[in-house]
Amino acid sequence: MKFWFITGAQELYGEETLRMVASDSRKMVKGLNDGGRLPYEIKFTTPVTSDRAITKLMQSANADPDCGGVITWMHTFSPSKMWIEGLGILEKPYLHLHTQFNREIPWDGIDMDFMNLNQSAHGDREHGFIAARLRKPRIIAAGYWQDEETQRKIADFMAAAAGAAESRNVRCARFGDNMREVAVTEGDKIEAQIRMGWHVNSWGIGDLADMMKEIPDSDVGTALDDASRRYEMATDDIAEVRNQLRVKLALERFMKENGVTAFVTAFQDLHGMKSLPGMASQMLMEDGYGFGAEGDWKTACLLRVMKVMAKAKGTKGGTSFMEDYTYDLTKGSEAVLGAHMLEVCPSIAGTKPKIEVHPLSIGGKEPPARLVFESGESDAINVTVIDIGGRLRMIVQEIHTIAPLHHMPKLPVAATMWQTKPDFASAAEMWIRCGGAHHFVLSQQLTYADMKRFADIMGIECVRIGDGVCMESLGQTLMINDIAYRLGI
């Protein structure tokens, strides 16, 4: 994926000035690419000086599957009526970079030629007006282009655009429907595909059971050797560990063959399976696949998108499917214990995962192998997407993950704990007020700002719960958003 650098100008200043515009733009593209801070390459395009050239360029950007987005910058003044058609049809993520070629004013040499060439200070305002007038979703980044902070802003835009590109491509395989009678993991799959691009389709669990039979024993043996090196073997039930590895290999083969990057399982639908995929799901999440338990396809798709964004950001820590398990309500140090029946991604592990086999109290199948570990400490977010009726709402809760306060020898699952912002009770009240799910994606690698950029590109509501947010301000935000979405603003 590449991002197109589009420099705006106009014919008025003559050929010499336009040659300088092109030459400076090339230097900036090279400098940005050589800076080593961008997850994707920027591609130089010839500066545009007419409405026809702008429209043609935007058509090409739309048609190129490898174009991740466009970055516009006005070196000179570029009258914005020229941009109406082009920006109007633009479908790719759009960053307006507000910078200028020179850092300092050349005090002794500044003359009218310099002024004609270097007009970003007001040329970018003309450009910003037309994007505002067109209600065009965009990200605006201001700052000197050689500065680290400015380049980080471009990198952040690229990460959100990478999430958007991935979102349009996510294919989620459902092995089983939602857990019976559960509401929040339900939703309109058609709306999710229209708005987010999430393709959610169903396969029979029997198909997966058949695929498992086709996995050669030797492949399972190799996977067992690999797992024994990566994790600590803490069980004698090697047959079940091999079973989980066989599930993992079958799922992996199935997903590669079908172009699928996310999947869900359901403990109420395991016909032909020996046990619920626990360790298998954990290892696939670690490899970057999206996953949702109990048929939760929304969280599975979201996890896949966030894995791609986290990779583009290159930040430390992990990103996992998660559930609020139970609370520790010790006054003043309230914390949430987060875990799941089995399926937590080892990317958030602060300790070496142990392979253990224990019975599950529900589902009626054999005891499944799972990876057991405790998380590390980090700032993080919990992100959920719910179907609020006719549209999707994303809720982002700012948290701080900590290792569990005490060991839990009788709870044989991977676990983390976290403290919520602004405080325990307010955060819980606000999450519940928004309708946030008990399933979400926990990420130590992404922030609210990352998710907001992504949500803006996709055109969905994104609500923050964290420091500085209170129930009154949140209530107003939700009310205004409701009106805005009903009016189609």
Binding site for Mn ion (CB under 5 A): 293-294, 323
Which of 318, 305, 308 shows the shortest CA–CA distance to 460?
A: 305
- The minimum distance between CB 179 and Mn ion, in angstroms, equals 7
Dist CA 266 CA 380 (whole Å): 27
Q: Which helix (H) or strand (E) holds 4?
A: strand 2-8
Dist CA 270 CA 432 (whole Å): 32
Dist CA 47 CA 426 (whole Å): 51
295's CB contacts (< 8 A; 6+ apart) are 174, 176, 177, 178, 179, 185, 264, 265, 266
CA distances from 277 to 15, 270, 274, 294 (A): 66, 9, 9, 11
- The minimum distance between CB 343 and Mn ion, in angstroms, equals 8
Decide whether 96 or 358 has the Cβ nearer to Mn ion.
Answer: 358
- The minimum distance between CB 328 and Mn ion, in angstroms, equals 20
Dist CA 133 CA 212 (whole Å): 56
Angle at the Cα of 315 from the Cα atoms of 314 and 317, rounded to 5 degrees? 125
- The minimum distance between CB 341 and Mn ion, in angstroms, equals 7
Q: Give SS3 for 401.
A: strand
Decide whether 154 or 293 has the Cβ nearer to Mn ion.
Answer: 293
Decide whether 323 or 374 has the Cβ nearer to Mn ion.
Answer: 323
Decide whether 156 or 294 has the Cβ nearer to Mn ion.
Answer: 294
Decide whether 342 or 399 has the Cβ nearer to Mn ion.
Answer: 342
Decide whether 185 or 447 has the Cβ nearer to Mn ion.
Answer: 185
- The minimum distance between CB 192 and Mn ion, in angstroms, equals 19
Decide whether 393 or 439 has the Cβ nearer to Mn ion.
Answer: 439
Residue 481, amino acid:
N
- The minimum distance between CB 189 and Mn ion, in angstroms, equals 19
- The minimum distance between CB 323 and Mn ion, in angstroms, equals 5
